[in-house]
């Protein structure tokens, strides 16, 4: 993709904040840091506006918890069109980690994530929001 250069004027304290951000996050340069900040903003906008987006839901849960796996599976069946793949890892004798790759209208994906994370026995859940760059809509 073609790259354009442009000058940016910033107050000194903002520039210092940008440089700290670059250092703390190990960005190779300011351009990469600014690029990531803009991308994050675009992703957030896409999720707010119910666009077709992609992401992943990460769940850590206790597999001994009564009925939990059945509930999690049943919820996922209601959203089978949005789920691309599910990866399951046994991370200890009783704890499981699922990574659920998703794509679809952002409101549906948020709804799915909220339902899964709210189940009793889910110790930790996180929705990672990203985007698709194509215009594909199903
Ligand atoms: Ni497991």
How many angstroms is it from 62 CA to the middle of ligand 1? 8
pTM for the whole thing? 0.83
Summarised one tens digit per residue, pLDDT across range 35-65 is 999 999 999 998 899 899 999 999 999 989 8
Tell me how far apart the alpha carbons of residues 94 and 123 are, in angstroms, rounded to a whole number: 12
Tell me how far apart the alpha carbons of residues 21 and 1 are, in angstroms, rounded to a whole number: 25
How many angstroms is it from 80 CA to the middle of ligand 1? 21
Q: Are strands 95-105 and 83-90 parallel, antiparallel or unpaired?
A: antiparallel
How many angstroms is it from 117 CA to the middle of ligand 1? 16
How many angstroms is it from 73 CA to the middle of ligand 1? 13
Tell me how far apart the alpha carbons of residues 46 and 106 are, in angstroms, rounded to a whole number: 8
How many angstroms is it from 129 CA to the middle of ligand 1? 24
Summarised one tens digit per residue, pLDDT across range 100-120 is 999 999 999 999 999 999 999
């Amino acid at each position: 993709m073609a790259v354009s250069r442009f000058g940016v004027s910033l107050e000194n304290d903002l520039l210092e904040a940008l440089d700290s951000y670059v250092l703390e996050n190990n960005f190779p340069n300011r351009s990469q840091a600014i690029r990531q900040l803009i991308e994050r903003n675009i992703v957030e906008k896409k999720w707010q506006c119910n666009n077709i987006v992609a992401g992943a839901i990460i769940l850590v849960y206790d597999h001994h918890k009564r009925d939990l796996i059945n509930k999690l599976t049943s919820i996922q069946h209601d959203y089978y069109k949005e789920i691309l793949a599910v990866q399951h890892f046994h991370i200890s004798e009783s704890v499981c980690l699922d990574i659920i790759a998703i794509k679809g209208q952002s409101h549906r994906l948020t709804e799915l994530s909220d339902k899964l994370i709210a189940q009793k026995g889910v110790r930790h859940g996180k929705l990672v929001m990203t985007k698709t760059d194509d215009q594909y809509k199903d």
